Amino acid sequence: MKKTSLKDIAQQAGVSTALVSYVLNGKEKETRVGEAIAHKIREIAKELNYQPNHLAKSLRSGKTYTIGLIIADISNPFFANIARVVEDEAKKNGYTVIIGSCDEHAEKSWDLLNVLINRQVDGFIIVSCEGSESQVHYLKERNIPFVLLDRHFPEIQTDFVATNNYKASYDAGIHLIQSGYSRIGIMAYKSNMYHMEERVRGYKHALRDNHIEFRDSWLKEVHFESMDSEVKTAIDEILASEQRVDAMIFATYGLAINALKYINELRLKVPSDLAIVSFGQAEVFDLYYCPITYVRQPLEMLGKTSVEFLLEKLKTPDEGMKQILMEAKLIARESSKPKPAALSG
């Protein structure tokens, strides 16, 4: 039972494939196909349950209506959700998305890029990982349309859609300070990715603007790959420092999860022993005995806009760069509630 093709319909109708193609693509008007025959063709197509072969279409047209979505880490619920949004938005526009996770490895990202290029995706949406600058340059050179999502490289001119991480982190810091905390630590990934640097920078400026002297021992940078062990060490150290912190910002969801587990092991009470603000939304933060204050990034908007940008780029490739920074929102919960001492002070 082979799939029915244009040819089959043409044969049954006793016409050429051209007519069938015209009719089934709604071009009967422009190409002046006869009423009767057009009707007949549609009937037969329905009867034979004709489904066009996308491969052939794409080969001919050079368009696959497929978007490659390369994500730095799909196990992160933030990215998983953003992937969903992208998929939905793309589907609405008749595009299919092929998702790949590079698990924060630039090499894997190269592989994915090549696989997807071979599959002739029309363009890419990319959550870049560290060390993938060359890939971005490659895409630019090859003139392959793409939009960077959530993370971008300030030194490379590209389209991008991202969060204002500096501001988000600054806000997180201010919030803690206003809640009465003054010795505030931050845990981030050891990385020279811009979004991560911005988060640290925002935090530092929040301290500075409130005349709190930043101390090196308050900044803990851990490696993504060995997060499990390094987080524990980092927590131990940051709590042992002579100026013991009374609050912490976690620059990512993954860090927060890991740290909270350890904090539980240590029997530390949140927020009385340690207040917490974290990046990244997830159900988990509702479920923790003390609901975690978190920075909510505009997930839906980020995803939607990235698709929008890309589709526009596909339509009119020569329009200028589109770049946007969106504001995150701090959701204040119990884990950073005003320090009792601060109320009277």
Contact residues for DNA, defined by CB under 7 A: 2-3, 5-7, 14-19, 21-22, 24-25, 27, 31-37, 50-53, 55-57, 59-62
C-alpha dihedral sign at 195, 197, 200, 201 = negative
Q: Is residue 339 within 8 Å of 181, Cβ to Cβ?
A: yes
* Of residues 47 and 327, the one with the C-beta less far from DNA: 47
Residue 272 neighbours by CB under 8 Å, 6+ apart: none
Scan residues 272-331 and list those touching a copy of itself (CB under 8 A).
283-284, 286-289
- Among residues 252, 234, 125, 140, which one has the least CA distance to residue 198? 252
77 binds, among DNA, a copy of itself, none (CB under 5 to 8 A by kind): a copy of itself
User: Which partner from the list a copy of itself, DNA, none does 25 bind, CB cut-off 5 to 8 Å by kind?
Assistant: DNA
Which 50-89 positions form the footprint of a copy of itself (CB under 8 A)? Answer: 51-56, 58-59, 64, 74-75, 77, 80-81, 84, 87
Does position 15 bind a copy of itself by CB under 8 A?
no
Reduced DSSP (H G I as helix, E B as strand, rest coil) percent helix, strand, coil of the chain, to 5: 50, 15, 35
Q: How far is the CB of 58 from a copy of itself (least distance, A)?
A: 5
From DNA, a copy of itself, none, which one binds at residue 114 (CB under 5 to 8 Å depending on kind)? a copy of itself
CA gap 36, 292 in Å, rounded: 67
- Mark 240-269 with x for binding to a copy of itself (rule: CB under 8 A) and - for no binding: -----------------x--xx--x-----
Q: How far apart are CA 209 and CA 292, in angstroms?
A: 25
**Contact present, 300 and 150 (Cβ < 8 Å):** no
Question: Residue 53 or residue 229: which is nearer to DNA going by CB?
Answer: 53
Distances (CA, A) of 141 to 99, 135, 148, 167, 302: 23, 10, 16, 33, 26
Distance (Å, rounded) from C-alpha 79 to C-alpha 96? 18
Write out the residues near a copy of itself by the rule CB under 8 A: 1, 51-56, 58-59, 64, 74-75, 77, 80-81, 84, 87, 91, 96-101, 114-115, 117-120, 142-143, 257, 260-261, 264, 283-284, 286-289
